[in-house]
Structure 1
């Protein structure tokens, strides 16, 4: 009777049967795959965390910049212009849906960023399409010419308005300053540093007098006078104003 309770096992080349259940050879094989080690998983998680942290920092920097831009004060003319643009964009957004509302916000951001543009470098003063640098050190006329670099030159005065602008600065600072005028090419023939002949002048009474081989021109108060080119004066550099690019 003991033989009645023994399980029947049949074997074959492809599968085994145990109590009527079939198992393939693949089911009976022991898996040889190795689990991923903990250091590898930890490295993957660290890379993922670093990526998330970098994206978060970039987002915070962008938000901070936009907040600072929004706090920049505007002139009354700019505020009036922005108000009119906002009204126009608001009416269009109300009639054409959320897409135009997003475009309105983008336009406002671009307008705010445009106000950050500086047509002149730091320490340069803008006036009628030009930028002016008023030196804080002394030098000869030739050294002053050399100090005006990066697309600038010793100042060339072309109008009464420009003369008044420079004179106001000179009077306010009580400085005598070199301008880009000399008679180096020919005695008594005054040329600017770009070799153009002098047309408009603001000579002081009795000047130029060429007293003691004075061949370079200086701005003193609101008039010009010639002086020895080796004299030590302040100077004024000039270069074209750089328009702000469209955003």
Structure 2
């Protein structure tokens, strides 16, 4: 029953995100249709108004409306899906339920992302601070293929080791997957359940 409820929660969460994105897309399509209608009105008015002065005044009024519409479209643009957090050009999803490491990898892939791969000290600091508030969370780092050879899920090697907690990683009980803990990184059994973090690039918004 617990597994069924968790799968149902994940399914509803996925549908919720999809519905939000569809809603935003529909608003943008409606705005584009309105924009086309206003442009058509400019052409029609141009042929109906005899006075060039009145035509210029009407044109100026319509251009102001177009600027307002564009500002509204820019406001609608979200660089990240709902329930994701923006940081330095990337979107991060912090789960609200627990999974094993491999299940977390698959869950992120299902959302068009990957279990988080850390690329900078700033990113590490941001994620570590967030995990202190939300709880321990999986990252996309493992040495399951070869003990002591830590690889990210994108295939790249771990380039630094100073984020591990004291005396970690210690591989106590076949611990092959990395997790954010309170004091830094820790290695845990990949079969343990924890929160998890997904990462993907943000969407560009009009400037």
Superposed CA deviations along residues 175-199 of structure 1, whole A, max 9, x for unmatched, are 1110000012211100000001111
1:164 to 125, 146, 154: 125
Matches within 5 A, 1:116-195: 116-148=76-108, 149-173=110-134, 175-195=135-155
Partner of 1:55: none
C-alpha separation between the residues in 1 aligned to 2:95 and 2:103? 12
Superposed CA deviations along residues 9-45 of structure 1, whole A, max 9, x for unmatched, are xxxxxxxxxxxxxxxxxxxxxxxxxxxxxxxxxxxxx
Partner of 2:18: none
Residues 125 and 222 (structure 1 numbering): CA distance in 2 closer, same or farther, change over 3 Å? farther
- Which gives a bigger RCO, structure 1 or 2 (Cα 8 Å, sep 6+)? 2
Shift of 1:211: 1.3
Gaps in structure 2 of 5+ consecutive residues: 1-26, 32-55
Shift of 1:104: 2.6
Residues 168 and 235 (structure 1 numbering): CA distance in 2 closer, same or farther, change over 3 Å? same
Matches within 5 A, 1:93-108: 97-108=57-68
Gaps in structure 1 of 5+ consecutive residues: 1-61, 67-95
C-alpha separation between the residues in 2 aligned to 1:101 and 1:200? 59
- Give the TM-score of the pair, scaled to structure 1: 0.58
Pick the structure with more strand per residue: 1
Paired residue total: 153
Shift of 1:122: 0.9
- Secondary structure in structure 1 of the residue aligned to 2:63: helix
Larger Rg: 1
- Give the TM-score of the pair, scaled to structure 2: 0.68
